[in-house]
Amino acid sequence: MASDAPLPPGSVIGILGGGQLGRMLAMAAAEMGLAVHIYAPPGDNPATDVARSATIAAWDDPAALEAFAAAVDVITYEFENIPVTTAEFLAARKRLRPGVRALAVAQDRLNEKELARRLDIAVPEFAAVASRTELDAALARMGVPSILKTRRLGYDGKGQAVIRSFADADAAWVTVGGVPAILEAMVPFTREVSVLLARGADGATAAFDVPENRHRSGILDTSTVPAAIPPALAARAVAIGERIAAELDHIGLLAVELFVVGDGNGAALLFNEIAPRVHNSGHWTTDACLVAQFEQHIRAVAGWRLGDPRRHSDVVMTNLIGADADAWATLAAEPDARLHLYGKAESRPGRKMGHVNRIRPRRA
């Protein structure tokens, strides 16, 4: 296996997944003189527009995976629902950063919450629910309101059902498809924030400022920086991210979503979930920081020293979901704004088509 020396310009980064995150990672890699080879199943893969090469094949195609591993210098992922067996197959052949464990933990909400609890990070009350009967038992113990979520493959509010009264239990169980799930207490949060930090191959970490995130229909709508929280609370949030990154021996960008309960320095932080990759709530870094999350991730994966994550501007990032992106001409003409479009072939309701970063001079 390769040495610990940083990969020089000209090296090839293999990226598993071909969506917008892969696309923005590929553009950052190109700016560093690195090339990208995308591996993704057939579909709309906008990352392939900006990559040197691409393998379009199933996650369980050993010949394609073998050839991909041989063609790249290091492998990373932009999508966390890659089968763990695929990640293990690749990790046996080429360095995979972040590793298999970060992927396995992030794929399962129960694993995530248990990891946080083991690290003494406060989590909302939760219970594993594997059957309709277990749902009744969990509801009797935890009460309502609560949220039932599939353990695996949920994203953007999918695979979730709010339970406001015991009579909602049947419908919630049908909504999640009767698969292994967890029941979580509904958190009366005052705001949602996320930690975005990179951890390098040398164990050094660099955190971006903490954004405040608003959701619409379960999908991220805006990330605002700075968040309206005291610096001490933001520091506590970052410390949570650092603990998780160290525990996972993570290399790359790590996002941790947190609920804030209460206000001011006395507020509590409750763990929601992690993403072992660049994250939608970090898209503002491209236009408000010297080094953005995408470059930071590529630096870590390539074994480079991390860059400077300092923020030079205040910013509000707004996602363009479905038809929102039809206003591209107006958005492109806005002063103090930078429009990012993902080049997706087809717009659908709920689909992330782009985002816009609205910039203001930094005040604090």
Stretch that binds ligand AMP, among 13-21, 27-35, 92-100, 180-188 (CB under 6 A): 180-188
Rounded to a whole number of angstroms, the minimum distance from the CB of residue 182 to ligand AMP is: 10
Q: How far apart are CA 345 and CA 295, in angstroms?
A: 26
Q: Is 2 left (phi over 0), alpha (psi -120 to 50) or beta?
A: beta
Q: Does 192 bind ligand AMP (CB under 6 A)?
A: yes
Q: 168-177 long-range CB contacts below 8 Å, 24 or more apart?
A: 168/144, 169/132, 169/135, 169/136, 169/139, 170/132, 172/135, 172/148, 173/132, 173/135, 173/148, 175/148, 176/148, 176/149, 176/150, 177/150
| Neighbouring C-alpha atoms within 13 Å toward the C-beta of 262 | 9
Nearest CB to ligand AMP, comparing residues 95 and 113:
113
- Decide if 194 contacts 258 (C-beta within 8 A): yes
| Amino acid of residue 119 | L
Q: Does 252 bind ligand AMP (CB under 6 A)?
A: no
Q: Which of 184, 209, 212, 324 binds ligand AMP (CB under 6 A)?
A: 184
Q: Does 216 bind ligand AMP (CB under 6 A)?
A: no
Q: Does 268 bind ligand AMP (CB under 6 A)?
A: no
| Token pair of 302 as six digits | 């390539």
Tokens 């949220």 belong to which residue? 147
Nearest CB to ligand AMP, comparing residues 206 and 316:
316
- Decide if 196 contacts 317 (C-beta within 8 A): no
Rounded to a whole number of angstroms, the minimum distance from the CB of residue 143 to ligand AMP is: 13
CA angle 27, 361, 216 (to 5 degrees): 65
Binders in 97-116 for ligand AMP, by CB under 6 A: none
Q: Does 147 bind ligand AMP (CB under 6 A)?
A: yes
Rounded to a whole number of angstroms, the minimum distance from the CB of residue 206 to ligand AMP is: 24
Name the pairing type of β-strands 53-56 and 35-40.
parallel
Q: Does 186 bind ligand AMP (CB under 6 A)?
A: yes
Q: Does 215 bind ligand AMP (CB under 6 A)?
A: yes
Phi, psi of 343 (to 5 degrees): 70, 30
- Decide if 318 contacts 355 (C-beta within 8 A): yes
Q: Does 218 bind ligand AMP (CB under 6 A)?
A: yes
DSSP 268-290: EEEEEEEESS--GGGTTHHHHBS
Cβ count near 127 (within 10 Å)? 18
Q: How far apart are CA 303 and CA 300, in angstroms?
A: 5
Site string for ligand AMP, 155-174 (x = CB under 6 A): --x-----------------
Stretch that binds ligand AMP, among 63-71, 182-190, 232-240, 308-316 (CB under 6 A): 182-190
Q: Does 84 bind ligand AMP (CB under 6 A)?
A: no
Nearest CB to ligand AMP, comparing residues 24 and 258:
258
Rounded to a whole number of angstroms, the minimum distance from the CB of residue 108 to ligand AMP is: 13
Q: Does 187 bind ligand AMP (CB under 6 A)?
A: yes
Q: Does 273 bind ligand AMP (CB under 6 A)?
A: yes
Nearest CB to ligand AMP, comparing residues 91 and 278:
278
Q: Does 212 bind ligand AMP (CB under 6 A)?
A: no
49, 68, 74, 245 from 91: Cα distances, Å: 26, 12, 9, 19
Stretch that binds ligand AMP, among 25-33, 186-194, 331-339, 347-355 (CB under 6 A): 186-194
Rounded to a whole number of angstroms, the minimum distance from the CB of residue 113 to ligand AMP is: 10
Q: Does 124 bind ligand AMP (CB under 6 A)?
A: yes
Phi, psi of 241 (to 5 degrees): -60, -40
Nearest CB to ligand AMP, comparing residues 127 and 306:
127
Applying CB under 6 A, the residues found at the interface with ligand AMP are 124, 147, 154, 157, 184, 186-187, 192, 215, 218, 257, 272-273
